[in-house]
Amino acid sequence: MKGYLYLENGEKYQGELFTTSSETTFNGEVVFYTGMTGYQEVLTDPSYKNQIVVFTYPLIGNYGINDFDFESKKPHVAGVIVLECKDTVYHYEAKHSLKQYLAKWNIPLLSHADTRAIVKQIRKSGTMHGSLTCEENVVQTPSTEKFPVADVSVKQKVTYGEGPTHIVLVDFGCKKSIIESLVERDCTVTVVPYSTPYEKILELKPDGIVLSNGPGDPKQLKSYLPNIKKTIENFPTLAICLGHQLVALAFGADTQKLRFGHRGANQPVIDVFNKKVYITSQNHSYVVDAKSLKNTSLSVRFKNVNDNSIEGIAHKSLPIVSVQFHPEAHPGPIDSGFIFNEFTESLSNVRREKQYA
């Protein structure tokens, strides 16, 4: 049936709305993703909670949905917008079409929409609230404040792997592939809720801490910053995406919202330590404010080549490293997978120091 995207600045775009839900209007923050592939991972990445995703590549769904590339147990997007969605699939591992998968979870799909015009509008006016609907003349209302981390974090601890290195992963909306990347490097990973106090983490006797990715504004977690700081000051830490932003806030730096964020699989990032450029996978609206790092104990390690925004920081004296991009990729290139190697190797060094101290 005929459907529409209404943006909060008054712009309206027409397409064909497909939904199995009894609802007539679906709300969310409208963002765009530039990758040619990886829609299954995007749909199931908890960082996209409450967002309507516009896929810029004109043909989406041609290789279907398989049983392996999920980043969580269910999709988290509020809606999907494409130019063309394929009903037939062309891959031997495909179990469902994209449309079938969205229908299963009652996620609306707006197809045959002018995705180029929508993306140009977002780039011009910035990320904004929007509605997908079959109704004419929907009046946009301001988006209500939400705390999506609480919706996507685990409710109790879960353990993966049986390796000798024990990692406690604080879950703000973790992707499955982050856990898999650590297990592949011979780690036991205990995933705990985002609100787990330091004393409970200490009881688990970790060798290191990982702060995961997740959705929303990092400042919504302001009340948890003292607990986060105490935790990472006492253990070697790797922080990714939202976790990276929380590290910065915990040590007195600030974050700010980009106009339309970085979402795609081809973001160039330079390591200022060795002057090498890596192509990275990213998904975020917020970044660390470079000026706010000036009087902190943090230094810049990675920068975005396109806009010079902060992509990674390191503590000047503690074994804490954080990255804005996704070293596990999924989807995207694996250029920056070495970040996990650096982290796990540093844990081995710390254990050796304790053994011979």
- The beta-strand segments (E) located in 310-356 are 310-315, 320-323
Residue 138: inside a domain: no
Query: In the annotation, is 328 catalytic?
Result: yes
Question: Active site residue: 241, 284, 315, 330, which one?
Answer: 241
Mind listing the pLDDT tens digit for each residue in 215-252?
999 999 999 999 999 999 999 999 999 999 999 999 99
Please say whether the beta carbons of 51 and 73 come within 8 A: no
Among 133, 160, 187, the domain-final residue is 133
Query: In the annotation, is 326 catalytic?
Result: yes
What would the two tokens of residue 307 be?
């806009």
Looking at 19-23, 114-118, 132-136, 175-179, which range is the least confident one? 19-23
Looking at 21-35, 56-70, 177-191, which range is the least confident one? 21-35
Residue 224: inside a domain: yes
pTM: 0.95
What would the two tokens of residue 143 be?
């988006």
Residue 352 reports pLDDT greater than 60: no
* Domain coverage including residue 292: 148-356
In this structure, what CATH number is given to the domain that contains residue 99? 3.50.30.20
Classify residue 346 by burial, with Cβ atoms within 10 Å: 0-12, 13-18, 19+: middle
- The beta-strand segments (E) located in 114-254 are 128-133, 158-160, 165-171, 187-193, 208-211, 237-240
With cut-offs at 50, 70 and 90, classify the pLDDT of residue 206.
Answer: very high
Question: For the chain, how many structural domains are there in total?
Answer: 2
Question: Active site residue: 41, 174, 328, 330, which one?
Answer: 328
Same domain, 116 and 182: no
3-class secondary structure, 135? coil
